[in-house]
Amino acid sequence: MRFDKFIRPDNLQTALKYLQKDKDAVILGGNTFLRLSERKYTLGIDISNLKLDYIKESKEDIEIGAFTSLRTIETDPIINKYFSELLPESVKHLIGVQFRNNATIGGAIYSRLGFSEINTALLVLDCELEFEDHGRISFNDFISSPKIKRDILTKIIVKKQKGKSTYTMMRNANSDFSILSVAVSNFGYINIAVGNRPALAKLPEKAMKLINSDNSKLDETADLVAEELSFGDDLRAKSSYRKLITSVLVNRALRKVLL
Amino acid sequence: MKLKLSINQQFYNTHIDGDESLLDVLRNLGFKSVKKGCDTGACGVCSILINGEPTLSCQFLAARAEGKKITTVEGLGAKADKIVKAIINEGADQCGYCGPSLVLTIYAMKKELKDPTVDKIKHFLAGNLCRCSGYEGQLRGIKKYMGVK
Ligand SMILES: Cc1cc2nc3c(=O)[nH]c(=O)nc-3n(C[C@H](O)[C@H](O)[C@H](O)COP(=O)(O)OP(=O)(O)OC[C@H]3O[C@@H](n4cnc5c(N)ncnc54)[C@H](O)[C@@H]3O)c2cc1C
């Protein structure tokens, strides 16, 4: 990726104005994914001065600034207090510490990558996104339809809930993309998300209905998830293999939150 | 654009393109210990410390580095010697290409890990690839340096 001009606004309104004025302007997150693109932009808008790097706890929620690094997600005591088996687990195998110090949660969410593991994990939480122009949208709505364009993600709001949540994945080698990712939460209602299929993470609605109607139907639910979702081939795994792995990983994850 | 960088506790004034990586700028300034490997964020040989945190300089925009404290292995001086010795004593230095980034990451790890274990060490260093040592010798030396059995 190349750009002609670099600016570092110190407030969100200015950053948004530049972004919306010029269709060839781009928001610079941690620049980990962006820099691999061949595209040339006119303007790079640096958001590192917008004070979007924070994690705050209120009575009901945890707010995560969009410029928070994935390394902070991994190590932060508030995140670890509520979702240690879920959010830190979903980022800790991503390349190495020095990569995760650059990559931001906002960049991971906004790019809606089919191999993004934190997006699988966020899908099983009660989670909203706040955009500077569009305002609030549920994480699920954002992931399932790309209707927000040329906007700045400012924060991620996660409801604090009592219960268990877990994340698991399979990758062929350390630091490679994972070939499947599974997140499950049980906060009274059980949510299951499967990502890296290799497509964006999805909730298998029928399987979730089954397990929520009868908590003992673990094996049937795990098999149903594999039947319900679609899988694809890539150089890392075939769809048939991903399907087999799905029931195994979902089964393990369900046991962690139910037994 | 004009840029003033603080590298190893000295200031450097330079001119850069807005989209230049810190890796390229550091190498142009003569910090050749910072290696260019994959240039995609996967290998770790361009690691430096930014405000003490290990960071891939290939991804980090130089324009963003103003006001930050940059440390390359040259800046560690004698503090690097102990780490290098621990690795050399195990015969694990080999070609040396990944050495500077590994030394910096180990230095940051020692500061950060209060209660180091082999698993924590392996996790912290997962982003530092080495294509010749096979890691075992490195790990022996690093365990000794970290005081882990
Ligand atoms: C080599 C490599 C290996 C990887 N391996 C994995 C892996 O194993 N697992 C995994 O889950 N992911 C993996 N990833 C993806 C990684 O998680 C993303 O690259 C990273 O999270 C993107 O964050 P960033 O801050 O660097 O975004 P950038 O690269 O800066 O930006 C990505 C996109 O988001 C936009 N953007 C960024 N921030 C905002 C914002 N606040 N508001 C609006 N738009 C914004 C940018 O304009 C751009 O379009 C890998 C990526 C690379 C390059």
Q: Quick one: which atom of ligand 1 is closest to the CA of A117? A: 11
Per-residue pLDDT for A174 more than 90? Answer: no
Tally of domains within chain B: 2
CATH of the domain at A71: 3.30.465.10
- Both B60 and B84 in one domain: the answer is no
Q: Tell which phi-psi region holds residue A193, choosing left (phi > 0), alpha (psi between -120 and 50) or beta.
A: beta
Tell me if B6 sits within 8 A of B68, measured CB to CB.
yes
What pairs with residue B3 in β-bridges?
Answer: B14
Domain containing A206 equals 164-258
| Same-domain status, A121 and A195 | no
Whether residue A173 sits in one domain with residue A231: yes
| B65/B85 same-domain check | no
pLDDT higher than threshold 90 for residue A146: no
Q: What is the mean pLDDT of residues A83-99?
A: 97
pLDDT band per the 50, 70, 90 thresholds, residue A109: very high
Each residue of A193-204: pLDDT tens digit? 999 999 999 999
- Answer yes or no: do A27 and A59 share one domain: no
Confidence of residue A145 (pLDDT cuts 50, 70, 90): confident
Residue A15: predicted pLDDT: 98
Among the three residues B74, B108, B127, which one is the final residue of a domain in this structure? B74
Q: What is the pLDDT of residue A96?
A: 97
pLDDT tens, residue by residue, B4-62: 999 999 999 999 999 999 999 999 999 999 999 999 999 999 999 999 999 999 999 99
Sign of the alpha-carbon torsion through A186, A187, A190, A194: negative
pTM (predicted TM-score): 0.97
Contact flag B19-A3 (C-beta cutoff 8 Å): yes
Please tell me whether residues B123 and B139 are part of one structural domain: yes
Write down the pLDDT at residue A212: 98
Does residue B121 sit in the same domain as residue B103? yes
The mean of the pLDDT values for chain A is 97
Q: Is the CB of A107 inside 8 Å of chain B's CB atoms?
A: no
Same domain, A140 and A99: yes
Using the predicted structure, report yes or no on whether residue A120 has a pLDDT greater than 90: yes
Residue B9, pLDDT score: 97
A175: confidence class by pLDDT, cuts 50, 70, 90: confident
Are A18 and A63 contained in the same domain?
no
Ligand 1 centroid vs B53 CA: distance in angstroms?
19
Closest residue by CA, ligand 1 atom 49: A111
Residue A16 shares a structural domain with residue A97: no
Confidence of residue A147 (pLDDT cuts 50, 70, 90): confident
Claim to verify: residue A120 and residue A190 sit in the same structural domain? no
Residue B64 sits at the chain A interface (C-beta within 8 Å):
yes
CATH code at position A186? 3.30.390.50
Distances (CA, A) of A41 to A3, A5, A35, A45, A48: 4, 9, 11, 10, 19
* B113 and B124 in a common domain: yes
Whether residues B70 and B80 share a domain: the answer is no
Domain boundary, last residue among B49, B74, B99:
B74
What's the CA-to-centroid distance between A90 and ligand 1, angstroms?
A: 14
Range of the domain at B135: 75-146
Task: For residue B40, list chain A residues with Cβ-Cβ distance below 8 A.
Answer: 36
Distance from the B40 Cα atom to the nearest Cα atom in chain A, whole angstroms = 7
Average pLDDT over residues B107-120: 97
The residue nearest atom 53 of ligand 1, judged by CA position, is A33
DSSP letter string, A5-47? EEE--SSHHHHHHHHHH-TTEEEESSSTTGGGS--EEEEEEE-
